[in-house]
Amino acid sequence: MTQNILRIDASMRKNGSYSRALCTKLIAQLKRQTSSSVKERDLVDGIPIINEAWIEANFTDVAERTAEQRSVLSFSDALISELTDTDTLVIGLPIYNFNVPAAFKAWIDQVARAKVTFRYGENGPEGLLENKKAYVIISSGGTQLGSEVDFVSDYIHHVFSFIGIKDVTIIDSSGIGRNEEKVIADAHAIIEGI
């Protein structure tokens, strides 16, 4: 059985990106374990920010949406289809100014949709994207995961759980500016152990 991998690169740097290099290594490791197909979504290519027309279309009943509203949501639908068809996500995520890059937040806004990827039930929100595994490689120059200024790792766990992806492994490559050689060596060791 073929494993479907969705690779998402959130670094705005095509060259010299630690998260991109570690994503490539992790995908090679996963492909050694089982037959895999890889779909790539590079956020440097652009992700639209949701706006009033998007929100209005999203909250209009599916049966009542106009052609224009369906068009407004078509990019979001395509991103959600990628997630639905995926078994494993591999995400390269740098920290920019203590948070996720704006393009990654825009991607989250496009895929976190009520009645599509989550719903509100009697016991609160229920994620609808189940039985998926996510590996998130978090890189930073100075922000250390687990520190008082780590606003990313808890957010990642929460937002993915919210849409149903509860099996999330974070691969720490933070603090590269302090000790690049050790941080990268440790990240390589984690990936090699997967």
Could you give the domains of the chain?
3-192 (3.40.50.360)
CA distance 63 to 135: 36
pLDDT at 1: 82
Q: pLDDT (tens digit, 9 = 90+) per residue, 38-57?
A: 999 999 999 999 999 999 99
CA–CA distance, 99 with 91 (Å, rounded to integer): 15
Locus of tokens 């290594």: 25
What is the DSSP-derived secondary structure letter of residue 147?
S
Sequence-ordered alpha helix ranges (H) in 52-170? 52-58, 67-72, 74-84, 102-111, 153-162
pLDDT band at residue 18 using 50, 70 and 90 as cut-offs? very high
Q: How confident is the model at residue 119 (pLDDT cuts 50, 70, 90)?
A: very high
Q: Coil, strand, or helix at residue 23?
A: helix
List pLDDT tens digits, range 141-171.
Answer: 999 999 999 999 999 999 999 999 999 999 9
Exposure b/e, 141-160, CB count within 10 A at least 16 = b: eebebeeeebebbeebbebb
- Res 122: pLDDT: 93
For tokens 């919210």, name the residue: 162
